[in-house]
Structure 1
Amino acid sequence: MNLNKGSQNQEGAGGSGGKSSDQFSRYGFILAAIGSAVGLGNMWKFPYITGKYGGAAFFLVFIICLIAVGLPVLLAEMAIGRGGRGNASTSMVRLSGKKSWGGFGFISIFGSFMIFSYYAVVAGWTLHYAYLSFTGQLFGGADFGTQFGDFIGGYLPVFYQLLVVLLTAWVVAVGISSGIERFNKILIPGLVVLLILLVIRSLTLDGAGAGVEFFLNPDFSKLSPTAVLVALGHAFFSLSLGMGVMITYGAYVSKQQSLSKAALAVGFGDLLYAFLAGLIIFPTTFAFNLEPAQGPGLVFVVLPTAFEAMPFGALFGGLFFILLAVAALTSAVSLLEVPVAYVMEKWKMSRTKAVWMTAIICFIVGLPSALSVGGAVSGLTFGGKTFFDWMDFLSSNVLLPVGGLVVTLFAGWVWKDAYSEADLTPGWYKVWKFALRWVAPILVVLVLLISSGVISE
């Protein structure tokens, strides 16, 4: 079914593998998939876990996990989408012939919906800080912790959340080739330029060498079974797996596209982004004797201290937050497309109507998240967690691992014709099948147990 035309019937779009009237070009599909993978996590979480678990030793394990598990699951999601020509739920039903798989596929769709609702809040923070940095309002001897607290404690985050939702909805409403693909063709090259500029700036700071050494010097004594699972979890989630994105995007891919080559390109893009993020964060923080803390504290409190102290700090600070905003928006577009595709297909709705209805609901659902991180409802907690914390915990630590597990089991055991979509030689197909049947499910379950707190790190 053509997911851009809610009124079109299944046969018209080639439910058995026909060509959609609005689909990605080969280059556009790879850029859109990379845009989805390139998000905020690699910029504020990857440096922290890399430093905690052995620097280059952890980075090496991350590469192995990405190749051994991440890429097989990525290829499986792409193949399911192209083979089923529908959203994550419908594709599994079509390929298995069993309606029960529709419910399992819906898990990832619901996960994307939940993530977008609060991801738009954090993306809005990056837009606000880019504005503050370029206008010079961010600097001037301020206490950055207090400044960030004052911002998230008011109602301004709601405005920026709405701005992100509107921008994302506008792109998705235009369509696949004219909207999502064109958006990524403009922003991803721009993101690469920003990365290179910021890497050059960070590497030329006095004292940057200590940060590079910390990042690239392996400390195998810090590696542990937990470190391996953390690396696997980051490789898995940094590729946007388990959230229905690659299945949905796969539905818009031509049969002439090599999915195996596309998966390799996306994996390399994600790996390169993580590596360059490390070359920005570690030299910058070490040059100013700062701690590369995890989460918002690194981006909105620690790094502004470094930008204020360096020459042309307002410029480079602005570029950094624009970089984060671009990464956030390209991921937000893919997250919104997943539930939109489901709504169009489920209720035979036009793309425009489905986009704006879904976006409005996401905005409303995300309001408590915007107001719970120091805001009006921050005092309302359940089990010691705010609404934002619960949305993040349930989505990232429960829904996505379960969604990823569903994909591995479906492609490994249920879908009998996966070979025809995977673009693999017989030898590599056996390796891929083994990884999906045995390696990935076991490791994903372990990641789920750790991320949900059943097994402590």
Structure 2
Amino acid sequence: MVARHLEQQNRKQWSSEPAFVFSMAAAAVGLGNLWRFPYMVGENGGAAFIVAYLLALVVVAMPIMMLEVAAGRLRQGSVVTTYRGATRLGVVYGWAVVLLTIVITSYYLVITGWTLGYAVDAVRLELQDFDDFTAGYNSVWYFLIVTALAGVVLLRGVRAIEALSKLLMPLLVVMIAALVGVAATMPGWSEAVAFMTTWEAGALRAPELWFFAFGQAFYTLAIGQGYLVTYGSYIPRKTNVPRATLIVAATETSIALLAGWMIFPFVFSYGMDPGAGSELAFSTLPRVFDEMEIGIWLAIAFFGMFFAAAFSSCLAGLKVIIAAFAEELRLSNARAVGVTAALMFGLGLPSALSFSPVQLTVAGMPFLDFLDQFGGTNVIIASGVIGAGLLCWVLPPARVVYALGAKSRWWSWRIFIVGRSLPFAAVAFLVWRLVSGAD
């Protein structure tokens, strides 16, 4: 117990509440919002999906986000340590979250490699179509480079992540806003507005739409993936958790919506398919930049910032894994980083090969897309529901209120209502989905 107390006292922290906000926003904003949100909107009907997503985010996802951050702050340890402290069975769930994060981060690194490759090609004035970019083994080489770079940054700890996030987040927001301004001048703007603001009657009655919307809401706020618990464990004592997480959630949601307004006007202007899937941004923007007079300069800036944001997401996922390995296996930070990097090299390779001449597929889709559809929606929802139930049914409410660091009990009351009812609501939803499918 004394050793544990000393470990908590010596645990490094974010330098301030704004530092946590920047770091947490950078962790989730990158791929969850710039890459995944537009393609999920495109594949699920546009405006109806956005409405369902926003409702899922506000009603359910945000209280659970606060709960996970508060739990991490309360235990000041890895995701395994946090859930073990809640209940004996929590250690099993904690390791399951680490496993989920390993799977997601393995293909995140591949996509981040794409952003780096496009940034490098833009600097060389050789921006390629996505099919041309993946015709060789670019996905593999850039995946290996990104994984090695992440290992170097993580050897320096949380302050390196903090410094990187403070620099990159403001630049990313400015760049996206500028591209939305350009998109507003495109002939496909009105079609994009219609796509993102109107929907057919009855569209919101489809259970599949709500399933994917909840998956994206959880994905956007990094729920059930260990990010929030791990980053929350480094929060300074005076941080107001509801205030900090509301700022993060508002930032991430705004950037997700801006990404849609940035992508779809170009998609419709050039007669492209909004349901193109995971390569939507990579097949759309190079063509856009190629058509513009100053396109190559915008390409350099955008893909540079896109890489930075995606890289921040990778760092967050890797930090979850490294913290668990270091604390549970009693490894030094350097050894935990080395083990994690080796694991990523092995597990990420199939995703990289799925966009190469090998074209590795599962169930008729690229291996990377399969992992994202399965882990990025199905497993994330299950993980978020189970985690919320564990914390809300086991942790004393008074301790959660204390960990929130806020005087108002409004959020703690709402957190426990959502957390305790979520497992039952999930079962009811599954029944609805089965009945609707049978009809």
Alignment partner of 1:39: what SS? helix
Q: Which amino acid aligns with 2:168?
A: L
Match of 1:419 in 2: 401
One-letter amino acid matched to 2:214:
L
Match of 1:215 among 196, 209, 230: 196
Contact conserved, 1:54 with 1:223, CA < 8 A, in 2?
no
Residues 1:184 and 2:165 are matched in the alignment: yes
Counterpart in the other structure of 1:111: 100
Q: Which residue of 2 aligns with 1:404?
A: 384
Select between 282-291 and 74-83 the one with higher mean Cα deviation: 282-291
Q: Is the 8 A contact 1:292 1:302 kept in 2?
A: no
For 2:126 and 2:416, locate their aligned partners in 1 and report how far apart those are by CA, in whole Å: 54
Assess if the C-alpha contact under 8 Å between 1:57 and 1:220 holds in 2: no
Contact 1:53-1:223 within 8 A present in 2 as well: no
The 3 A distance-change label for structure 1 pair 426 and 100 is: same
Inter-partner Cα distance in structure 2 for 1:52 and 1:166: 33
TM-score of the two chains, using structure 1 as the length reference: 0.86
Contact 1:43–1:274 under 8 Å retained in 2 = yes
Which stretch of structure 1 is more off in the superposition, 181-190 or 18-27? 18-27
Look up the equivalent residue of 1:409 and give its one-letter code: G
Counterpart position of 2:26: 35
Aligned partner (choices 92, 105, 111) of residue 122 of structure 1: 111
Contact conserved, 1:51 with 1:215, CA < 8 A, in 2?
no
Secondary structure, aligned partner of 2:117: helix
Report how far residue 199 of structure 1 moved: 1.4
Partner of 1:72: 63
Cα deviation, 1:195-215, whole Å, max 9, x if unaligned, reads 122112212334433323432
CA RMSD of aligned residues (A): 2.9
Please say if residues 55 and 219 of structure 1, whose CA atoms lie closer than 8 Å, have aligned partners that are also in contact.
no
**2:215 is equivalent to residue 230 of structure 1:** no
- Determine the structure 1 residue equivalent to 2:316: 334
Alpha carbons 1:210, 1:286 under 8 Å: kept: yes
2:418 aligns with 435
1:172 aligns with 2:146: no
Task: Note if 1:101 corresponds to 2:101.
Answer: no
User: In structure 2, what is the equivalent of residue 365 of structure 1?
Assistant: 347
Letter of the aligned partner of 2:350 in structure 1? P
1:147 aligns with 2:132: yes
The one-letter code matched in structure 1 to 2:83 is M
Q: Distance in 2 between matches of 1:43 and 1:449?
A: 33
Which of 315, 320, 323 pairs up with 2:305? 323
TM normalised by structure 2 equals 0.89
Q: What is the CA distance between 1:382 and its match in structure 2?
A: 5.2
Partner residue of 1:351 out of 330, 333, 341: 333
1:199–1:448 Cα change, 3 Å:
farther
Single out whichever of 39-48 and 85-94 deviates more from structure 2: 39-48
In structure 2, distance between residues paired with 1:355 and 1:33? 20
Q: Which of 5, 16, 22 in structure 2 is aligned with 1:11? A: 5
1:215-239 deviations in whole A, cap 9, x for unaligned? 2345554322322332222111111
Structure 2 CA distance for partners of 1:447 and 1:424, relative to 1, 3 Å: farther
Shift of 1:48: 4.2
Q: Any idea what SS the aligned residue of 2:155 has?
A: helix
Aligned to 2:228: 246
Q: Is the 8 A contact 1:281 1:292 kept in 2?
A: no
Instruction: Give the distance between the partners of 1:393 and 1:431, measured in 2 at CA.
Output: 30
Shift of 1:128: 0.9
Q: 1:230 to 1:451 in 2, by over 3 A?
A: farther
2:137–2:356 contact (8 Å) kept in structure 1 = no
Deviation at 1:385?
5.4
2:245 & 2:59 partners in 1: Cα distance? 13
DSSP-derived class of the 1:63 partner: helix
Q: Relative to structure 2, which stretch is displaced further, 25-34 or 280-289?
A: 280-289
Change beyond 3 A, Cα 1:338–1:27: same
For 2:100, the aligned partner's letter is G
> Offset of 1:424 from its aligned partner?
5.9
Unaligned runs of 5+ in 2: none
Residues 236, 449 of structure 1: alpha-carbon distance in 2 compared, 3 angstrom cutoff: farther
The match for 1:200 among 149, 165, 181 is 181
Query: Conserved in 2, the CA contact under 8 Å of 1:127 and 1:322?
Result: yes
Offset at 1:287? 2.6
Distance verdict in 2 for CA 1:145–1:125, change over 3 Å: closer
Cα distance between partner residues in 2 of 1:401 and 1:224: 19
Higher mean C-alpha displacement, 79-88 vs 312-321 = 312-321
How big is the shift at 1:253?
0.7
For residues 305 and 425 of structure 2, what CA distance do their matches in structure 1 show?
32
User: Residue 279 of structure 2 aligns to a residue in which SS?
Assistant: helix
Q: Residue by residue, what CA displacement relative to the aligned partner does 1:119-153 show, whole Å, maximum 9, x if unpaired? A: 111110111112223322126xxxx3641441xxx
**CA–CA distance in 2 between the matches of 1:374 and 1:20?**
42
On the 8 A contact 1:54/1:221 being kept in 2, the answer is: no
1:6-40 Cα offsets, whole Å, 9 max, x none, are: xx9412033xxx57344442111111111122132
Is the Cα–Cα contact under 8 Å of residues 392 and 416 in structure 2 kept in the other structure? yes
Q: State whether residues 63 and 415 of structure 2, in contact with CA within 8 Å, keep that contact through their aligned partners in structure 1.
A: yes
Residue identity (%): 30
**2:73 corresponding residue in structure 1:** 82
- 1:300-330 alpha-carbon deviations (Å, 9 max, x no partner): 3233223222332222233332232122111
Following superposition, the deviation at residue 340 of structure 1 comes to 0.3
Q: 3-state DSSP class of the match of 1:10?
A: helix
The alignment status of 1:292 with 2:274, answered yes or no, reads yes
Cα distance change, pair 401–256 in 1 and its aligned pair in 2 (3 A): same
